[in-house]
Every structure is written in structure tokens, then in C-alpha cells.
């Protein structure tokens, strides 16, 4: 589960599950550090860095934003685990389910998918409201929104909504030389 | 004044007789974490974060409500205690509904701070998503049960300092919750003077002023100690 030695360029992925993309925006806030990063890693999969649609093999490090809320999220999370050395839960949605997880409060958490769809498409709609039905096109919601570590083993947690660019840099920099970051103190750990 | 001497993490300390173990650990600068405890209020030991090991005692003891005794040998940060503290904080997060990003107390919350202190980077316990109400019947304040950790600071400050005794604990176990008056909507409890002390000392975003939105709550936890000193010793903080 440790990244390969720094001789070869590390293969980095960033993944967007059920999140608002704010963690990715924070990643882009790394500004000029992105140039340093580009010298040390190949970005092999990322909604903000590549146009690749299939998660590749032999990824060294993956930053995974977002909770696991639908069948697409679930499938991608399982692929990420299978094909990646070090998986990072990136931001509060991945770490705690956070705001996407609020729908778990509906229907006492049993089938919040049904409850949230009925609320959104029937109760709050005008007279013509109907439940969306597009199998194979719109991914089905899971009954419950889950934090990433309840779906796959996670190697490192980076809380924050979003984690600041500074926090991301402090976490990534040691990984580039095969070290683990020290996840301690308010600068690295605070939720929210 | 008689004095008791004891050992905290190998360091000898002397405290006045009647002092708590917590005061003794502070004399040794041991930084024992506390959440339910608040200077000026009677300790109740509801949060269990201040548990310490005392040699010869078969069980862990809450430092906030245990009296320091002559010759005690106390350990405050053994691996076992650190692990229990982290578990305790994870359980607080898992058993309520805490979404810090959109919370009124974000950046000023003692539970959020405590997660940092104990090194919690995620919860190993699945979140429970309990169904809990929000009482917004008071004209100035709101009680959001989703973020309440049952520390009872509100109960104690209202009873012991304000003398209004608006709050109590209702039910048992997982159903335990704070009740206003005779389990009425807060806004209907005539005993409430709207002093705001409960809001000021609440460690989380459970009690807040209606005018505060995300991350705007500014707690004031020093009031009970100031008022108690003023009343009992006739000393004000500027004297
Ligand atoms: S009360 Fe504290 S821990 Fe709970 S959501 Fe608010 S900021 Fe987070
Ligand atoms: S506002 Fe004051 S009187 Fe009212 S419940 Fe809170 S502490 Fe008690
Ligand atoms: S409302 Fe606040 S002060 Fe009262 S018990 Fe809950 S967390 Fe503690
Ligand atoms: S501070 Fe001692 S039990 Fe809460």
C-alpha cells in the first residue's frame, strides 16, 4: 500500500464521486505547486487533469473526493481500490459522507434513495411530477450514502470541507518521496 | 490549608486538600482533555474524556469528579487511555448528526476541536443518523438536538448560575435528550429568562442564537466561573 520509489514518475489519479467538486477546486488552488507536482507525477485519471474515462491499471496514489451514493460511485470505488497502491479519502464527503449523506436522515436511513426521490420529484413537484426512470443512463441511487472507508479499505484520510490547498500540499509532498505525512493537529485534521 | 501530594505521570505535585484529580493533572501540565467539565459548574462526568489510570484502582477514574488523594499514582496518557479517548470522540460523531461544514459552530466547536486533539481522522463506527428534532420555538435561541452530546452544561448553568432550572434530561439510553420545562417547547417555558447562558456554554452547535448562521456562533464559556467567584468570594475578575 505504499507508493513505489521516486525513481519512476508516480502515477496519480484524482477521482470524483458524490461530492460538489469543491475538493478538486481546492486541489487546483495549489497554484504553482501544480508545476512541481507535474514534474514528479503523471496524472493518469482526473476530472480536472485528463480526459480519460476508464480508470487505468497500476495507479500509485488516488485522491478520492465524495461519498459513495450511487451504483456508478460504487463501481468506480471498487476499481480504484483494485488498481491503486495508496487510496486517500479526500475531503469530508469521502471521510464522513458529509452533506451528500444528509439524505440518510430520510426514512430512518432504511431506503433514503426512494425517500429522497419521492421528496424531490413528487412531493415538491407540481401536478405533473414523476419519478425519473432511465435504466443504464442515470445511475441508480444506493439505499444509503456511505463514507468511502465503509466500501473499500482506505490508506489515508484528508478531512476538511474542502481540505485547504495547504493541507493537500502537506499531505502529498511526503508521499512523493515515499513517506507518510504526519496527520496531526488542526492544520491537517479538522473537519468542516 | 492542608495539602495532598501525589504523582502525575511520574511528576510530584501538591494540591490543596479537596482539589480534584483534574486540578492535580493541570498542576503537572498533563493536558487531560475535558468536554462536559466547565469551571464554575458542578462536575457530572458525562463525557468520559478525562478518564485517567490510578494505580491500585481496578477501574478508570474521571479526573473532573474524583478527589485527589494523598499518595495517588496517576497516569493520564497511556496507550489505552489515548485509544479510549479517540473511540469516545468517534462515538460522539457517529451517534449524532454532525455536518461541520454547514454547522453554526464550525471553527468554534469543542467537539470539533476534540476530534483534532485525539487525532480522529475518520470514524471507525458507522454513523447512526438518528431522527432528532429541532426546537425553534424560543424567540431568540434554537436547540438542535442533532448536535447535542448530552454534556448537561446547559442544565447545570441554568440551574446553578441562572437559578431558572429550565433544562433537564429526559428518557434513557439512546433516547436520552435534553428537555425544556416539563418537556415542553422551549418558547413556552415561562421560567426561562432568556439570559442566553445555556447558549454561551454549550460546547457544540446544539444551542445557538437565531441570528447566527454557518460558522458564526461565538461561545463564551468563562461566565460561570466568573459569576461563581463573584458570588461566593465577592471578587470580580477586574479586582
Ligand atoms: S456541533 Fe461541532 S462537531 Fe457537530 S457539526 Fe457542529 S461543528 Fe461539527
Ligand atoms: S436562556 Fe437562561 S434561563 Fe433560559 S434556558 Fe437558557 S440558561 Fe436557562
Ligand atoms: S444542548 Fe449543548 S450544553 Fe446542552 S447538553 Fe447538549 S451539547 Fe451540552
Ligand atoms: S470532563 Fe470529566 S467526564 Fe467529562
Is there an atom of ligand 3 within 6 Å of B179 CB? no
How confident is the model over A42-57, as pLDDT tens digits? 999 999 989 999 999 9
Indicate if the pLDDT at residue A7 is higher than 80: no
Indicate if the pLDDT at residue A168 is higher than 80: yes
The ligand minimizing its distance to the Cα of B186 is 2
pLDDT of residue A2: 61
Give domain B3-77's CATH architecture.
Roll (3.10)
Query: A144 - beta bridge partners?
Result: none
Mean pLDDT across chain A: 94
A60 vs A12: CA distance, rounded Å? 6
pLDDT of residue A105: 94
Residue B224 DSSP SS3: helix
Residue A116 lies in a domain: no
B136 vs B52: CA distance, rounded Å? 39
Residue A149 lies in a domain: yes
| Residue of A187, A89, A20, A121 lying closest to B123 (CA atoms) | A89
CA angle B156, B162, B168 (to 5 degrees): 35
Indicate if the pLDDT at residue A6 is higher than 60: no
Å from CA of B67 to ligand 4 middle: 13
Residue A169: give its domain's CATH number. Answer: 3.40.50.700
* Contact by Cβ (8 Å): B169, B159: no
pLDDT of residue A132: 87
A7 vs B157: CA distance, rounded Å? 61
B58 vs B142: CA distance, rounded Å? 42
Number of independent structural domains in chain A: 1
Query: A141 - beta bridge partners?
Result: A70
A24 vs A162: CA distance, rounded Å? 9
* Contact by Cβ (8 Å): A57, A51: no
- Model ipTM? 0.92
Residue A192 lies in a domain: no
| Residue of B2, B56, B55, B54 lying closest to B32 (CA atoms) | B54
Residue A30 lies in a domain: yes
Q: Which helix or strand (DSSP H or E) is residue A142 part of?
A: strand A141-146
Residue A122 lies in a domain: no
Structural domain that includes position A54: 10-103+141-180
Beta strands A10-16 and A41-45 are: parallel
| DSSP conformation letters of A76-108 | HHHHHHHHEEEEEEESHHHHH-TTGGGGGGGGG
B17 vs B14: CA distance, rounded Å? 9
pLDDT of residue A82: 98
The ligand minimizing its distance to the Cα of B60 is 4
CATH topology of domain B84-220: Alpha-Beta Plaits (3.30.70)
Instruction: List CB contacts of B99: < 8 A, sequence separation 6 or more.
Output: A96, A98, A99, A101, A102
Residue B209 DSSP SS3: strand
Q: Which stretches of B94-182 are assigned E, i.e. beta strand?
A: 134-135, 141-144, 167-170, 177-180
Å from CA of B187 to ligand 1 middle: 24
Would residue A65 be called left, alpha or beta, if left means φ above 0 and alpha means ψ between -120 and 50 degrees?
Answer: beta
Indicate if the pLDDT at residue A5 is higher than 70: no
Residues A154, B122: C-beta atoms closer than 8 Å: yes
A79 vs A55: CA distance, rounded Å? 7
Residue A187 lies in a domain: no
How confident is the model over A98-127, as pLDDT tens digits? 999 999 999 776 889 999 999 999 999 988
Ligand 1 pocket residues where CB is under 6 Å: A 192; B 98-100, 103, 105-106, 109, 111-112, 147, 204-205
DSSP-derived letter for residue B59 is: S
pLDDT of residue A8: 81
DSSP-derived letter for residue A139 is: P
Residue A26 lies in a domain: yes
Q: Does B119 touch chain A (CB under 8 A)?
A: yes
Residue A125 lies in a domain: no
The domain limits of chain B are 3-77, 84-220
Is there an atom of ligand 4 within 6 Å of B96 CB? no
pLDDT of residue A107: 79
Enumerate residue ranges in chain B where pLDDT < 50.
none
Local confidence band at A3 (pLDDT 50, 70, 90 cut-offs)? low
pLDDT of residue A134: 87
Amino acid at each position: 500500500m505504499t507508493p513505489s520509489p521516486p525513481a519512476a514518475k508516480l502515477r496519480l489519479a484524482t477521482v470524483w464521486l458524490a461530492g460538489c467538486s469543491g475538493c478538486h477546486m481546492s486541489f487546483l488552488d495549489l497554484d504553482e505547486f501544480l508545476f512541481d507536482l507535474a514534474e514528479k507525477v503523471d496524472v493518469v485519471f482526473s476530472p480536472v487533469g485528463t480526459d480519460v474515462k476508464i480508470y487505468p491499471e497500476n495507479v500509485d496514489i488516488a485522491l478520492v473526493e465524495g461519498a459513495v451514493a450511487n451504483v456508478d460511485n460504487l463501481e468506480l470505488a471498487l476499481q480504484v481500490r483494485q488498481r491503486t497502491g495508496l487510496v486517500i479519502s479526500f475531503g469530508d464527503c469521502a471521510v464522513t459522507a458529509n452533506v451528500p449523506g444528509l439524505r440518510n436522515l430520510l426514512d430512518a436511513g432504511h431506503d433514503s434513495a426512494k425517500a429522497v426521490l419521492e421528496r424531490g420529484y413528487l412531493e415538491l413537484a407540481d401536478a405533473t411530477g414523476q419519478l425519473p426512470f432511465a435504466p443504464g443512463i442515470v445511475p441508480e441511487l444506493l439505499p444509503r450514502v456511505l463514507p468511502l472507508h465503509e466500501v473499500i479499505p482506505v490508506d489515508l484520510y484528508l478531512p476538511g470541507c474542502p481540505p485547504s490547498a495547504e493541507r493537500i500540499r502537506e499531505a502529498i509532498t511526503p508521499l512523493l518521496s515515499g513517506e507518510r505525512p504526519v496527520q496531526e493537529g488542526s492544520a491537517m485534521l479538522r473537519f468542516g | 490549608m492542608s495539602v495532598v501530594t501525589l504523582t502525575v505521570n511520574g511528576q510530584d505535585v501538591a494540591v490543596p486538600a479537596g482539589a480534584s484529580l483534574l486540578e492535580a493533572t493541570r498542576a503537572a501540565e498533563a493536558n487531560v482533555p475535558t468536554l462536559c467539565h466547565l469551571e464554575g459548574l458542578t462536575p457530572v462526568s458525562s463525557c468520559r474524556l478525562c478518564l485517567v489510570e490510578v494505580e491500585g484502582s481496578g477501574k478508570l477514574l474521571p479526573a473532573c469528579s474524583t478527589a485527589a488523594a494523598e499518595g495517588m499514582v496517576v497516569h493520564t496518557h497511556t496507550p489505552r487511555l489515548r485509544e479510549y479517548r479517540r473511540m469516545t470522540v468517534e462515538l460522539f460523531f457517529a451517534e449524532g448528526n454532525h455536518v461541520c461544514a454547514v454547522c453554526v459552530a464550525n471553527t468554534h466547536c469543542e467537539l470539533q476541536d476534540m476530534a483534532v486533539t485525539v487525532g480522529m481522522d475518520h470514524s471507525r463506527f458507522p454513523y447512526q443518523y438518528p431522527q432528532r428534532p429541532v426546537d425553534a420555538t424560543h424567540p431568540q435561541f434554537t436547540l438542535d438536538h442533532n448536535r447535542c452530546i448530552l454534556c448537561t452544561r446547559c442544565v447545570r448553568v441554568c440551574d446553578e448560575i441562572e437559578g431558572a432550572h429550565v433544562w433537564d434530561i429526559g428518557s434513557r439510553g439512546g433516547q436520552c435528550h435534553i428537555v425544556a420545562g416539563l418537556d415542553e417547547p422551549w418558547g413556552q417555558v415561562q421560567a426561562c429568562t432568556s439570559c442566553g447562558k445555556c447558549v454561551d456554554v454549550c460546547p457544540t452547535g446544539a444551542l445557538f442564537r437565531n441570528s447566527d448562521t454557518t460558522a458564526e456562533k461565538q461561545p463564551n464559556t468563562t461566565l460561570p466561573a466568573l459569576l461563581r467567584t463573584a458570588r461566593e468570594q465577592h471578587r470580580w475578575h477586574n479586582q
